[in-house]
Amino acid sequence: MPHAATPRLLLACALSLAVCGCGDSPTGPTTGAVVDQAFEPGAANALVGVGNVGAYAQTFAVGRTGTLTSIDLILMAQGADDTIRVDIRGTSATFPSLDDSVVLGSRLVAAADLPSVNQGFVTINFVQGIPCTPGQRLAIVLIRVAGSGNADVLWITENQTVEEYAGGTALQRNGGNGTGWTNIGSDFYFRTRVVVP
C-alpha cells in the first residue's frame, strides 16, 4: 500500500481548519475516519497559485475499502477575493477526468477562510461521501471559480524534480474544461481520510 515518505521537515504550524461550503458547517474530519493515504512535508516546499487559467491536481491510490470523507491540503491565502473548487475525481489512464462537471465530490473554498501566514494542513470535508476500494486511482483537483488577477490561493507542493509519493502524480492543466493534463514532477502535500466498514 503506498504511503507517505518519511517527514524530514516539520512546517511552522500544523493548522487544522474546517473549510465550509455547500451550506453546512463541518467542524473537522469526520468522526471515525482514519488516514488512508498521506504525503507530508519533506525537505523543501514550493507554492503554486490556483489562478484564472488551468488547474492543479494530485492523484493517489486508495489503500482501504470504505468511504472517503475528507482530505487535508496545505493551502495559504495571499489575498481574500478568490474562491476555489476542490474536487475528488475519477481517473482515466492515470489522469484526472478532463470534464469539470464529472466529479465524485466537490467543495467550494474561499480564500478569506484560509491562513495567510503559517503554512498548515487545512481539512476539507466532502458531504457527498465517496465510496472507495483498494487500488482505485482518484485525483484531488483545484480550480479557481471566482476572482481575477493574481491567484489568492496557494497550494503547497514538494520542491523536488523527482516525485516521492509512489501512489500518484502531481499534474497541471494549462487551459479550461476539457484541456489535457501534464506532469509537473513535484507532488502536492495531502492526506486522505476514509471511514472503514
DSSP codes, 124-173:
EEEEEEEEE-TT-EEEEEEEEEE--SS-SEEEEEE--SS---TT--EEEE
Position 9 in a domain: no
Residue-level pLDDT at 11: 28
Position 7 in a domain: no
CB of 24 within 8 A of CB of 30? no
Reply yes or no on whether the pLDDT at 89 is more than 50. yes
Please compute the mean of the pLDDT values over residues 33-56 and round it to a whole number.
Answer: 84
Which residue shows C-alpha cell 476514509?
A: 194
- Residue 36 lies in domain: 17-195
Where is pLDDT greater, at 19 or 89? 89
**CATH code, 40:** 2.60.120
Position 11 in a domain: no
Position 70 in a domain: yes
Using 50, 70 and 90 to split pLDDT, how confident is the model at 179? Answer: confident
Position 140 in a domain: yes
Where is pLDDT greater, at 161 or 186? 186
Q: What is the pTM of this model?
A: 0.83
Position 133 in a domain: yes
Each residue's pLDDT tens digit, 68-84: 999 999 999 998 999 99
CB of 98 within 8 A of CB of 171? no
Position 3 in a domain: no
Lowest-pLDDT range of 4-13, 120-129, 137-146, 180-189: 4-13
Domain count, the chain: 1
Reply yes or no on whether the pLDDT at 135 is more than 50. yes
The residues pairing with 132 across neighbouring beta strands, listed in sequence order, are 66
Of 13, 62, 68, nearest in space to 41 by CA: 13
Position 128 in a domain: yes
